[in-house]
Amino acid sequence: MAFLGRHLSISGSIANSVSAAEELGCTAMQIFTRNPRGWATNPVSDSDAKAFRDALSTSSIKKTISHLPYLPNFATPKESLYELSKRSLDDEAERCGKLGIDYIVMHLGSHMGKGREFGVDRVSSAVSEAAKMLKGPMILLENQSAQLNSIGSTTEELAEIRDRIGSKRVGFCLDTCHAFAAGYDIRKEEVVDTIFKSLGKENVPVVHLNDAKFPINSHRDRHENIGFGEIGRKGFDALLHSADISGKTLILETPVGSNISPKEEISLVRKLME
């Protein structure tokens, strides 16, 4: 049975996100443990960490995920940005270990014109260093939408990076919108099967469940609510009944707007799963 949840705010206190997840009927949740658009951060206090862990221990939430901020670029040729990115990942690993969070999801970044091989090597080196220091959370490499110069948009590239890293503490997060935007027609069960076979089903514990605002192969990372985008309800119905999805942690990163409320969207996905 899959675990289901969505990305939530930690406004007020990080422990508040647990009760917010429960109110939506979640059994999993994803958060930013800090400002996602800045480098500066305050350490997680002992009291905040305890409050979060205590809230989780008495909740229905079984899987927890942190998303690394947007600024890090692990494929960059700029040394200052590369060092900041590595420190950001190390810091997040420490924060998540203190909070008891299961997974850290990260974007790989852009090689900025230096070439695929350069980017793959940079990402592999950075994550390999971080993996050696891990004490608790697992690092998950998220597939990208095939934007210009991006690293990690194909299953082959992702698998190559993990092989170079050579750590069982590193896996993958499959984003359905990103895969669709990169040209993978995940509305077809055979395509889903191929993706999981290429990455190794056991290496993909988390799936970001997002519809796509733009058509397949658009290379545009724009999420839409489930059933309101180009993947569509039929596409997700097929995806969620794939044997490869069984036991995964499914996280919605969809808009909060007029289409459907977060609680209704969680209920919709659960109905599609059934």
Q: Look-up: residue for tokens 């480098």? A: 39
Average pLDDT for runs of 10 along the chain of length 274: 93 94 98 93 95 97 97 98 97 96 98 97 97 92 98 98 96 98 95 96 98 98 97 93 92 94 96 91
Contacts of 174 (CB under 8 A, 6+ apart): 142, 143, 195, 199, 204, 206, 207, 208
pLDDT on residue 238: 85
Interstrand relation of 63-67 and 3-7 (parallel, antiparallel or unpaired): unpaired
pLDDT on residue 134: 87
pLDDT on residue 224: 98
> What is the distance between the alpha carbons of residues 29 and 61, in angstroms, rounded to a whole number?
7
> What is the distance between the alpha carbons of residues 147 and 7, in angstroms, rounded to a whole number?
23
The CATH code for residues 3-273 is 3.20.20.150
239-245: Cβ within 8 A, 24+ apart: 239/176, 239/186, 239/187, 239/189, 239/192, 240/269, 240/272, 240/273, 241/189, 241/273, 242/189, 242/192, 242/193, 242/196, 244/192, 244/193, 244/195, 244/196, 244/201, 245/2, 245/192, 245/207
Q: Structure tokens of 16?
A: 């508040």
Please count the other Cβ atoms lying within 10 Å of the Cβ belonging to residue 93. Answer: 24
56 contacts 18 by C-beta, under 8 angstroms:
yes
pTM score of the predicted model: 0.97
> What is the distance between the alpha carbons of residues 152 and 226, in angstroms, rounded to a whole number?
24
Q: Where are the domains of the chain?
A: 3-273
Sign of CA dihedral 110, 157, 196, 189: positive
Sign of CA dihedral 33, 34, 39, 43: negative
Q: Structure tokens of 150?
A: 């991006």
